[in-house]
Structure 1
Amino acid sequence: METSSEIEPWAEIGNVPLFEVNKALQGLREGVRCDDGRVRGLDDIALMCSPETSSMDPVLARRYVMLSARFDKQDNVEYVKMLSKQLTRIGIRNIFVNTAGDFGVATDACLAQARILLALCTSTYGEKTTGTYETYMELKYAREHPGHVRLVPVKLHPKYPPEPPGPEEGRNQNQVAFSPSLIYINGINETSSGTYCKVHPRQLAIDIARHIHDLGLWSDVYESTASKFSNDD
């Protein structure tokens, strides 16, 4: 039986990732697909990551919400994909990296375009692992560039700030980054049995949109060509 600290995964309703990098794309056609349908190759990505050019080209400007999450469980992967789909339908441009291993170029590309870092705080978020590119480093980047990237946490586990396993650097950074003065978006509900479950991705997307509007960042990440919700979503 689950304890009150465990999360029941929300059932899958769809699977449409906006930004998924697969190692099969490597080669001459290697690149990153964004929500505008463009596939950007390594040369474009390198340009995005260059501070000399990223501020000059409007195409490379910071206009996305980056979904920063641990993909250590399949439930987390599916939830992020569904949340991405719902955010897109509202009109929020968003990107995330979904790879099996280190893929630093893709992570750098996401961070270079991110106006908001949406930290999806599961129990292991911010863990300092052996990998070079991880949520620990994404959070560190946001802390070091507050004028460029706005940190917005989403609580997806009863324990907040997260206390991930591994080296203490991860727990220490979480305690500092997710201070009491930083307002988080609640993404869990308590059930009648005393357990917790993640809220429906559609509802969470709406709450995120309201929060972004309240922060005064709506125009930075809004895509006017968004589709409307249907009763089936």
Structure 2
Amino acid sequence: MPTNHSTQASSTIDPKPLAGRRAVVTGGTIGMGRAIVQALTDRGAEVVYTGRSDRRLAEAQAALDTPLAHPVRSDATDANAIADLSDQVADRLGRIDYLFINQGIAEFQTLEEVTEESWDRIFDVNAKGAFFTVQRLIPLISEGGSIVFTTVSNDRIFPGLSAYSGAKEAVAAFTKVLAAELLPRKIRVNAIAPGFILTPTMGVAELTDEQRAEFIEQGNASTPMGRGGTVEEVAAAALYLAAEATFTTGVELPVDGGFGQGLSA
């Protein structure tokens, strides 16, 4: 009787390849962050994830529906909250294998519209919060672990995003500097750089339904692949860098449908 090689091969695939692994995902309540949490727990990892809104944390926990996911209310702009997050992660998970720095906010503001308050708000969340969260949690990351930042596909720029683009460029710089600093501990540091991704907020605060529809139309038109990416596609890239790309560090991986690559049909 002939052997069904495809069936035989599929039976050897581990359905929970990350069982026993532990991770932290900041900004994990919606969009790309929640998709990363979902992908991790689907593969058996235990995850602490953060958000600033009690409502969104509750909604995320209901949607994830797994005892492997642990919500923590935390504000990346608050040093005390970051310290408390570190304590909670240590108590809940002990050591961690993967850290995903995903929190972020964006606001469309032209040169004339940007204020010192809006500039500080965007940099505090996207850059300062990202850096000091890593600083606090790095003692908990096991040797051989990894950090994955979320940046943005910045090779082509939308007007009105000076502060956001600048903050994410800072995070891209952290990726390379920390990759070098953490080589002695064998901790890899990489980043995913999403382009136009379909999320509930589209990455921009307080979009109206009309603005969201216009944003989607523009995003589809400017993406060489002709569509927005899914949060699941971003999560797949993030998990690849975290768990599978074991000979890769200091890189920023575009997940942008060719947006930043100068492609045309």
With the length of structure 2 as denominator, give the TM-score of the two structures. 0.33
Structure exhibiting the larger radius of gyration computed from Cα positions: 2
Query: Under a length normalisation based on structure 1, what TM-score does the superposition of the two structures give?
Result: 0.36
By relative contact order (CA 8 Å, sep 6+), the higher-ranking structure is: 1
